[in-house]
Amino acid sequence: MSKIYEACQLGKQARHPFPAQTTHVNSKPLEMIHSYVWTTKTKSIGGCKYYISFIDDHIRKVWVYFMKHKGEVFQHFLNFKAMVEKEKGVSIKCLRFDGGGEYFSNEFSEYLKEHGIQRKYSCNYSPQ
């Protein structure tokens, strides 16, 4: 009689593939912008410890701005918005972020409301 070891049994098990996902991509530039604030362990030569990324959901282009403080998020968003809207000739429709506090200042919230930019939230710590 042969003995079946648990480790051998588990090692031979096959994992089923994940089901095919239907990913939605917006059909026009600036319909949705994904934004994330990242922290680095060490400061850059210029003294920056944070950076913010903006990703256009349609073209998948990424813009990155370096920051010394998280409080610079709103100013970088304003600079980014002015640049891409002038370049593309259309307005940002939706800003998606992870719900971090740096996006919730009264000034930032009022600005988004005044310019008709919708907010959407993704899960924390998941920049996908």
Q: Domain of 43: which CATH number?
A: 3.30.420.10
Domain hosting 75: range is: 34-121
Confidence of residue 8 (pLDDT cuts 50, 70, 90): low
Sign, CA dihedral 78-83-84-88, equals positive
Q: How many CB atoms lie within 10 A of CB 33?
A: 25
As for how many domains the chain has, the answer is 1
In a domain, 112, yes or no: yes
pLDDT given for residue 18 in this prediction? 58
In a domain, 40, yes or no: yes
Q: How many CB atoms lie within 10 A of CB 32?
A: 20
Confidence of residue 24 (pLDDT cuts 50, 70, 90): low
User: Which of 22, 80, 23 is closest to 56 using CA atoms?
Assistant: 80
In a domain, 71, yes or no: yes
Average pLDDT, the chain: 85
Amino acid type, 59: I
In a domain, 62, yes or no: yes
For the chain, give me the number of helices (H) and strands (E)?
A: 3, 5
Distance of CA 98 to the CA centre of its chain: 7
